[in-house]
């Protein structure tokens, strides 16, 4: 019999009191009522741990780095034991053939009952040769592991959208997971990296209810990605009032006014940074005086400067934006209209006599 989460936690010296605290915190993080606390506790006590294969493609490991910093002191211990993390080449002790053999073992033993968590994405150019794991292209490992998986978690912007390696011109053709694996349920947890508590909460939800939390049309869990940073930003009153930082370190910056004019992408970014925050709820980019760069949004590397409000448009061969394109067009149309007016007036003056 596989041991339950609770068994694992007790074995690691976690008290029942701490365990219940974790369940309570998780319930509130998921937006559930107090009645769900015992249900979470019961699930943790009775359910066998779900095996997880944590694959690493083209990535920077920032998702793992974030994940292991999950704020509650218990969370990192719990979560690392909560899921039966069978394979994670960054964290596991074994290496080489031993490590790769675990993937085969898990697939055989838990066919259709394990979860594949993907950090990073597969590059498809040159048959995937730009990312080799265990002597084979990563895309093959991903396809192989996903074939019998119950579901897939796309960790971070790499797996969800492509992120920096898929930014223009994307030389390796790095491709987000849902465009390679099309026949499995996929939950996207974008962000570069995603917030630690968001990651642990998603895992907890899947374990507790044995299904995905409610997803939006883009496959992101609604409970964390249904509102923009801007909607819950503590600097929002300054936006509504029309009080903006105009330059870095001006008086407005010292007063903590809205960073909209400094290119803050909060108004177009769906994430939970302004509510959950980072590093045990210590702070988040805007709180530290820098605008949001929109790291959980599709193609955020290709939307021009992080410090411009209007997106740079490169299609014209020169750097431009909507206003420059528009004003140029309006200027040309205006000038053409004025010229046409002048010619019309001259023509009319010339033919004035003809009409009678």
Partner 1 sequence: MSSESHISHSEPAVYVYEAPLRLWHWINALAITLLALTGYFIASPFPTLPGEASDHFLMGYLRFTHFSAGYILAIGLLFRLYWAVMGNAHARQLFLPPLFSGRFWDGVWHEIKWYAFVAREPRKYEGHNPLATLSMHFLFLWSVIFMIVTGFALYGEGTGMDSWQFQWFSAWVIPLFGQSQDVHTWHHLVMWVLVCFIIVHVYVAIREDIMSRQSMISTMISGWRMFKDNRRVDTDAE
Residue pair 270/164 in contact (Cβ under 8 Å)? The answer is no
Task: Pick the stretch among 35-43, 71-79, 191-199, 344-352 that binds partner 1 (CB under 8 A).
Answer: 344-352
Q: Is 218 in the site for partner 1 (CB under 8 A)?
A: yes
Q: Is 220 in the site for partner 1 (CB under 8 A)?
A: no
DSSP states along 113-134: S-EEEEESB-B-GGGGTTSEET
Q: Is 339 in the site for partner 1 (CB under 8 A)?
A: no
Q: Is 313 in the site for partner 1 (CB under 8 A)?
A: yes
Out of 245, 286, 307, 314, the only residue in the binding site for partner 1 (CB under 8 A) is 245
Tell me the per-residue interface mask from 127 to 146 with partner 1, x by CB under 8 A, - otherwise: --------------------
Q: Give the angle 75-80-81 at the CA atoms, nearest 5°.
A: 100
Place of tokens 């923009």: 228
For residues 51-69, b (16+ Cβ closer than 10 Å) or e, as one string?
Answer: bbbbbbbbbbebbbebbeb
Nearest to 228 by CA among 193, 293, 274, 196: 274
- Kindly state the smallest distance separating residue 309's Cβ from partner 1, in Å: 7
Q: Does the N-terminal peptide bond of residue 104 adopt cis geometry, omega within 30 degrees of 0?
A: no
Residue pair 152/22 in contact (Cβ under 8 Å)? The answer is no
Q: Which is nearer to partner 1, 102 or 310 (CB)?
A: 310
Q: Which is nearer to partner 1, 183 or 354 (CB)?
A: 354
Task: Pick the stretch among 2-10, 72-80, 115-123, 233-241 that binds partner 1 (CB under 8 A).
Answer: 233-241
Three-state DSSP class for residue 73: helix
Out of 136, 237, 281, 314, the only residue in the binding site for partner 1 (CB under 8 A) is 237
Q: Which is nearer to partner 1, 165 or 252 (CB)?
A: 252
Residue pair 64/91 in contact (Cβ under 8 Å)? The answer is yes
> Site residues for partner 1, window 283-302 (CB under 8 A)?
294, 297-300
DSSP states along 144-177: HHHHT-SEEEEEHHHHHT-TGGGSTT-TT-B--G
- Kindly state the smallest distance separating residue 257's Cβ from partner 1, in Å: 6
- Kindly state the smallest distance separating residue 258's Cβ from partner 1, in Å: 9
User: Could you tell me which residues are beta bridge partners of residue 278?
Assistant: 283
Binding site for partner 1 (CB under 8 A): 216-218, 222, 226-228, 231, 237-246, 252, 257, 260-261, 265, 267-270, 294, 297-300, 303, 309-311, 313, 321-323, 325-327, 329-330, 333-334, 337, 340-341, 343-344, 347-348, 351
């Amino acid at each position: 019999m596989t041991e339950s989460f609770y068994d694992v936690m007790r074995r690691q010296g976690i008290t029942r009191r701490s365990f219940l605290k974790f369940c309570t915190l998780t319930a509130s993080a998921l937006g559930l009522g107090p009645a769900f606390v015992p249900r979470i506790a019961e699930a943790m006590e009775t359910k066998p741990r779900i095996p997880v294969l944590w694959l690493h493609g083209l990535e920077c490991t920032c998702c793992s780095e974030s994940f292991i910093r999950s704020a509650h002191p218990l969370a990192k211990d719990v979560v690392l034991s909560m899921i039966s993390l069978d394979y994670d080449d960054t964290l596991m002790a074994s290496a080489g053939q031993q490590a790769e053999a675990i993937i085969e073992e898990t697939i055989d033993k838990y066919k259709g009952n394990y979860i594949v968590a993907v950090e990073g994405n597969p590059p498809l150019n040159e048959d995937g040769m730009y990312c080799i794991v265990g002597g084979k292209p990563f895309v093959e490992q991903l396809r192989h592991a996903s074939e019998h998986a119950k579901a897939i978690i796309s960790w971070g912007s790499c797996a969800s959208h492509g992120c920096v390696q898929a930014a223009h011109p994307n030389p390796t053709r790095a491709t987000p997971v849902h465009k390679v694996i099309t026949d499995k349920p996929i939950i996207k947890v974008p962000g570069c990296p995603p917030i630690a508590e968001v990651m642990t909460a998603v895992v907890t939800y899947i374990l507790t209810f044995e299904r995905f939390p409610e997803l939006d049309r883009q496959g992101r869990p609604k409970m964390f990605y249904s509102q923009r940073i801007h909607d819950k930003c503590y600097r929002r009153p300054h936006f509504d009032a029309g009080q903006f930082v105009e330059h870095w370190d001006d008086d407005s910056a010292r007063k903590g006014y809205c960073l909209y004019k400094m290119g803050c992408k909060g108004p177009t970014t769906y994430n939970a940074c302004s509510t959950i925050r980072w590093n045990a709820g210590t702070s988040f980019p805007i709180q530290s005086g820098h605008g949001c760069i929109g790291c959980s949004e599709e193609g955020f590397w290709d939307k021009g400067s992080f410090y411009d409000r209007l997106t740079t448009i490169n299609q014209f061969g020169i750097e431009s934006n909507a206003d420059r394109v528009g004003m140029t067009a309006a200027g040309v149309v205006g000038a053409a209209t004025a010229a046409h007016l002048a010619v019309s007036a001259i023509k009319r003056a010339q033919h004035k006599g003809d009409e009678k």
